[in-house]
Structure 1
């Protein structure tokens, strides 16, 4: 009986987490030719959101933001997600260490 109770709690927690993730706004970022597309992402301030990052280029790329403490390396053809906690209004830079000259972007929270 105790195991059934624990399993029920786990199922409930999993379902509520999935529901929260599905309600999160998603923004798409494409990495190709050593550049981010778009270079500027506008997101709502004070809102948790998902960033879907796709590497459409022939080599490895990286999404990195020191300010936001996020880092993600992607092989060619790979799409991954990052979840961001609510941000204060402002501009937050990100870059691609593999393409430092051209791989620069920013997230603007309004």
Structure 2
């Protein structure tokens, strides 16, 4: 293999490794999010999986995270989160706002 081909393979391998996002999971049970405070790493993209364990749908909504999606009963939804600066990013379940709420804490 020549040096150019080796360099291209190294660049591709590095890009694939950098593209892999950390995965985090939130569950909805009894119209509450668990954990209510989800910690994720700053300045890195992330994958968020929201699992709805309830027998009714819930809408996961977060204006700061730019996410709004209904998660049907007994199913899950996956979201890609852009790299975020340190801080707190609130989210809630629009169908049960009094109990379904939390924050993503970026550190």
Taking structure 1 as reference, are residues 64 and 21 closer, same or farther at Cα in structure 2, changes over 3 Å only? farther
Bigger shift: residues 41-50 or 74-83: 74-83
Matched with 2:59 is: 62
Taking structure 1 as reference, are residues 22 and 54 closer, same or farther at Cα in structure 2, changes over 3 Å only? farther
> Hey, which of these two has a bigger chunk of strand by percent?
2
CA distance in 2, matches of 1:87, 1:77: 29
Stretches of structure 2 lacking an aligned partner (at least 5 in a row): 1-12
Runs of 4+ in 1 over 4 A off after TM superposition: 19-22
TM-score norm. by structure 2 comes to 0.81
Residue 92 (str. 1) matches residue 98 (str. 2):
no
